[in-house]
Structures are given as structure tokens and as C-alpha cells.
């Protein structure tokens, strides 16, 4: 991994680890191209993993029924032989063209990657946290109040209050519990929306006195100079207000999707979507392709299977930029011993 200007070089930078970005790794890999994948989320799967991990998808060819998470897990297994480098918790932020015609991408956390090709598979846009409706929280944001865990070390030894009742809140209760000094979990209902296994494990921690659970609203965050000193809770049962002493807060109130920095990359767009040709899904910028939900062309359907088709054609277009002196040899996986060897079959 490279940080602070020391660029990693690869064949294709894929923005987005949703189902389409993941399958693009496979199609590019079949042609011998290496990918680096960047996603703002802390895990792969895009909408499938984030919005409907347990819902059955019924229109993936030959899969009678597969949940969003199962599809993600299977795609990860399928692309594993191509060893993609994946950077999570990273917003693909700025893009510049180099003198050699390649692209340099910098993430908001300082990772720099250079490649002849960028493939945008940004779906509905980068997932952005919804902020809690608490007056006066802005001064604390990104100082002692956070909406995501970008680096776990940051939370070690803290007196942490986690707000929220879904999977993210409970995942981080479980992952951070043994690293913090003290932990409070605040949710406005007694029922948690997270998977039952996480709820059961959280209740075990509660029974062991390792997390204090509050069913309450959060009317105020108290402190000075951006540093939280306590959080005021209003009990749902009694209506009484009380202060919980803590120095750090993590709030998980769901996500919305925003186009984000991609809008500033100088690529032609139509109604917040990137216009592409249908030969290989190249954008108005040579060497930048766009596939999946974020691209638009006449007849576009926002379906996973459409994105898979676009991945295959995009990889052929990408090949000509990444291997300008080589001739692309189209091969079926059933008959290419070279591909079978790469895939370990």
C-alpha cells in the first residue's frame, strides 16, 4: 500500500467494490490485467451488502436464489485467484492525467494509485452517513464524533459511546469492545435491527458488564473545543435526562448515496449519471470507463446482470490502453488452459 504520494502502479483502478466492480476484477483478470479496487465503505458488496444482504435476488442467471451477501461472498471467491488489491474506507477523490497518458488517483486518506485505465463502478454513488439530528454537533465532527471507523487504532483506550441499532453499530460494539476503556450503546428502541447473532453477542457483553445499553434519545452532546466530555440522554421509559461521561462518539444512523467527487473529474454526465458508449463503456475521457448503475446509455437497465455484461466489454476496451503493443486474444474459459491454470482449475 502506498501513502503520502508514493504511488502504486497497476493496470486498472476500479472505483467501487459493488457487485459490478468486483466482477470487473474477474473479467480484467481473464485478460491478464491487474486491478486495484477502492471503496469508501469498510467492506465489499456495494448495495447488495449494505442495503439488502439477506434479501434473495432472483434474476442472476443460473442462480435460482442468492442473497446480496451470498452474491458478494461468491464474487470475492471468484476473483481471489487474481489477487486484487482492495482499499476500503477510501474515497476516490481526485484524478489527474500524467505526461505518459496514465491516470493518477488520490484517495481522501492519501493513497495514490497510477494506471493507464480507470473503471468507475460507483453505482448510486459513495455511501455517505446520515447525520443525527442533534443541535450543535458540528464542532465535534471528525474530532471526537465520527460516523465511520476508518482506523481502529483511533478508538483504542477511549470512553466510547456508540449510537445506533443496526448492523454497523453492533459490528463495532463487538469489534471495539475489548480495545476501549468503557463503552455505552444508545438506541432509541429496545429492539435492534442487526442480525440476531450480533444482538446475542452484544447482550453477552452487556451481561458481563462490558457495555451499558441505553434505550434513549440523544438531545445534546457536551464539551468544548471539539472534545466531547459527556452526552446527554433522554430515557425512552421515564423521559428523564441524564449525562453519560465519554470522550468519543460513533453514530450509525444509516447511509445515503451521493455522487461525491466523481462529479468533478470533468467527465460528461447526464442527470448525475456518466454517459458512455455501448461498445466498451468508455466515457468522454479516453481511458476512463464507467459500468454498472453509475453509467447511462439508451436502454440502460440498473440491474446486476447488465453490469456484469458491461464488465466484459469494458475489459476489452481497457486492454488496448493497458497493453497497447499486444493483440487481444479472445478465449473461452472452457477451452483456455492458460485461464484454467490462472484460476487453479
- Contacts with ligand FAD by CB under 6 A lie at 15-21, 38-41, 46-48, 51-52, 57, 59, 91-92, 121-127, 260-262, 292-293, 302-305, 307
| Closest residue to ligand FAD using C-beta atoms | 123
* Nearest distance in Å: CB 298, ligand FAD: 18
Instruction: Report DSSP state, residue 229.
Output: E
Q: How far apart are CA 83 and CA 86, in angstroms?
A: 9
User: Nearer to ligand FAD by C-beta: 57 or 185?
Assistant: 57
Distance of closest approach, residue 231 Cβ to ligand FAD, in angstroms: 29
Closer CB to ligand FAD, residue 165 or residue 292? 292
d(CA 219, CA 232): 6
Q: How far is the CB of 306 from ligand FAD (least distance, A)?
A: 8
DSSP 51: T
> Least distance from C-beta 166 to ligand FAD, angstroms?
15
- Three-class DSSP category at 59: coil
Cβ-based nearer residue to ligand FAD, 47 or 159: 47
Looking at the Cβ atoms of 57 and 134, the one nearer to ligand FAD is: 57
Please report how many Cα atoms fall inside a 13 Å half-sphere around the Cα of residue 64, on the Cβ side: 0
In angstroms, rounded to a whole number, what is the distance separating the alpha carbons of residues 49 and 341? 30
* C-alpha triplet 218, 47, 175: angle, nearest 5°: 50
- CB-wise, 233 or 255, nearer to ligand FAD? 255
> Minimum CB separation from ligand FAD for residue 147, in Å?
14
Cβ contact 95:41 at 8 Å: no
Amino acid at each position: 500500500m502506498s501513502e503520502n504520494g508514493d504511488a502504486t502502479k497497476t493496470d486498472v483502478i476500479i472505483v467501487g467494490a459493488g457487485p459490478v466492480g468486483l466482477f470487473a476484477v474477474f473479467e480484467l483478470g481473464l485478460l491478464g490485467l491487474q486491478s486495484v479496487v477502492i471503496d469508501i465503505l469498510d467492506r465489499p458488496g456495494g448495495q447488495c451488502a449494505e442495503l439488502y444482504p439477506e434479501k434473495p435476488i432472483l434474476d442472476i442467471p443460473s442462480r435460482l436464489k442468492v442473497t446480496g451477501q451470498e452474491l458478494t461472498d461468491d464474487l470475492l471467491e471468484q476473483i481471489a485467484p487474481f489477487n486484487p488489491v482492495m482499499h476500503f474506507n477510501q474515497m476516490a477523490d481526485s484524478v489527474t492525467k500524467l505526461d505518459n497518458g496514465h491516470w493518477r488517483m488520490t484517495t481522501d486518506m492519501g493513497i495514490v494509485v497510477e494506471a493507464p485505465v480507470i473503471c468507475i463502478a460507483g453505482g448510486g454513488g459513495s455511501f455517505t452517513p446520515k447525520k443525527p439530528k442533534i443541535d450543535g454537533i458540528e464542532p465535534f465532527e471528525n474530532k471526537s464524533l465520527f460516523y465511520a471507523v476508518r482506523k481502529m487504532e483511533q478508538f483504542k483506550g477511549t470512553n466510547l459511546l456508540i449510537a445506533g441499532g443496526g448492523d454497523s453499530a453492533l459490528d463495532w460494539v463487538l469489534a471495539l469492545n475489548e480495545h476501549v476503556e468503557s463503552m455505552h450503546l444508545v438506541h432509541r428502541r429496545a429492539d435492534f435491527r442487526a442480525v440476531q447473532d450480533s444482538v446475542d453477542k452484544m447482550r453477552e457483553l452487556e451481561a458481563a458488564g462490558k457495555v451499558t445499553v441505553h434505550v434513549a434519545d440523544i438531545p445534546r452532546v457536551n464539551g468544548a473545543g471539539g472534545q466531547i466530555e459527556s452526552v446527554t440522554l433522554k430515557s425512552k421509559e421515564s423521559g428523564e435526562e441524564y449525562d453519560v461521561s465519554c470522550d468519543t462518539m460513533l453514530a450509525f444512523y444509516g447511509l445515503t448515496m451521493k455522487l461525491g467527487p466523481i462529479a468533478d473529474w470533468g467527465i460528461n454526465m447526464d442527470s448525475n449519471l456518466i454517459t458512455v458508449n455501448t461498445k466498451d463503456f468508455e466515457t468522454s475521457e479516453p481511458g476512463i470507463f464507467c459500468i454498472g448503475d453509475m453509467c447511462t446509455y439508451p436502454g440502460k437497465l440498473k440491474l446486476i446482470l447488465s453490469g456484469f455484461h458491461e464488465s466484459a466489454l469494458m475489459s476489452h476496451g481497457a486492454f488496448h490502453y493497458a497493453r497497447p503493443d499486444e493483440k487481444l486474444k479472445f478465449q473461452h474459459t472452457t477451452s483456455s488452459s492458460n485461464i484454467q491454470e490462472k484460476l487453479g482449475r
